Structure 1
Amino acid sequence: MNKIGVVVILCATSVSSYAAQNKGFEVGMAIDQQLSVVFEIDDQYRFILGNGGIAFDYIFANGSFGSNVPFDWYVGGGAWTDWDADDLGVRLPLGLDWQINDKFDVYGQIHPEVNFDDGAELQIGAALGLTYHF
């Protein structure tokens, strides 16, 4: 089994055991690593498993624009890898989160990335997702 497969199994095991404890856990779909499944824990740890690769984001700052604006902002740090091209790198998610109701959230982000495959190359990516809170 390759290294990425081991990482996916370990992440899935960790996420499922955390979900069994019924803490702040969300599951959803996103366009991030192509079509992706998203697991989010405590509005801080986001795991993305997609057709094109995997990613992990840690949200280290968030806030609101005020009571009249329906969405919040967040900033994070993360890492990603592609399945096909063997690319890997780090990224800085800059996003907006809108809590539609007490169960659904929609988020959108841009993330400047550094690809380390053939030397450091600066790129920009984006994601759009919908999550359901358990």
Structure 2
Amino acid sequence: MKNSGLLLGAAVLVTAASSLVYAEEPQSTKVAVGMAIDQELSVVLELDDTYRFTLGNDGAAFDYILKRGRFDANTPVSWYVGVGGWSEWDHKEFGARVPLGLKWDISKGWEMYGQVHPELNLYTGPELQIGGALGIKYSF
């Protein structure tokens, strides 16, 4: 649990540091909230289409979206790639992950996303595994 606390603490520090940078600029922060199946049933908070926090029944995760792109200007589907970390409550497992996802703009403010994320479990030694998530968000 100590290591997972460090992982989540690092995610909070990164977000706090980035919010200080944004505080100097007169931009408003885009906020999206939603639900997902990621760490079992989860609540999702996303800031500026870049920082995604997931808190669920089974654990927590933080993803930093590195790159976003579109397949075609006429389709509502886009892709993204990120890096992040995850931790589970019961099994005390934790590690790094690389989200590879698709986002679908359903209607104004509403988005649906699906991703697979190769994971590196670091609890008992490096072990590769794969996870996935499916969620829906509303942007303010």
TM-score for both structures, normalised by structure 1? 0.85
Aligned to 1:70: 76
> 1:123 is aligned with what amino acid?
Q
In the alignment, structure 2 segments of 5+ residues that lack a partner are: 20-26
> 2:88 is aligned with what amino acid?
D
Q: 1:47 aligns with which of 27, 40, 53?
A: 53
Over the aligned positions, Cα root-mean-square deviation in angstroms equals 2.2
Shift of 1:22: 5.7
Shift of 1:108: 0.3
Render the CA deviation track for 1:35-87: whole Å, top value 9, x for unaligned: 00000001110000000000000000110001243200000000000000000
Render the CA deviation track for 1:98-134: whole Å, top value 9, x for unaligned: 1111211100000000000111000000000000111
Q: 1:80 aligns with which of 86, 107, 114?
A: 86
TM-score for both structures, normalised by structure 2? 0.81
Tell me, yes or no, if structure 1 residue 129 matches structure 2 residue 135. Answer: yes
Aligned to 1:117: 123
Q: How many residues align?
A: 125
> 1:54 is aligned with what amino acid?
A
Tell me, yes or no, if structure 1 residue 27 matches structure 2 residue 33. Answer: yes
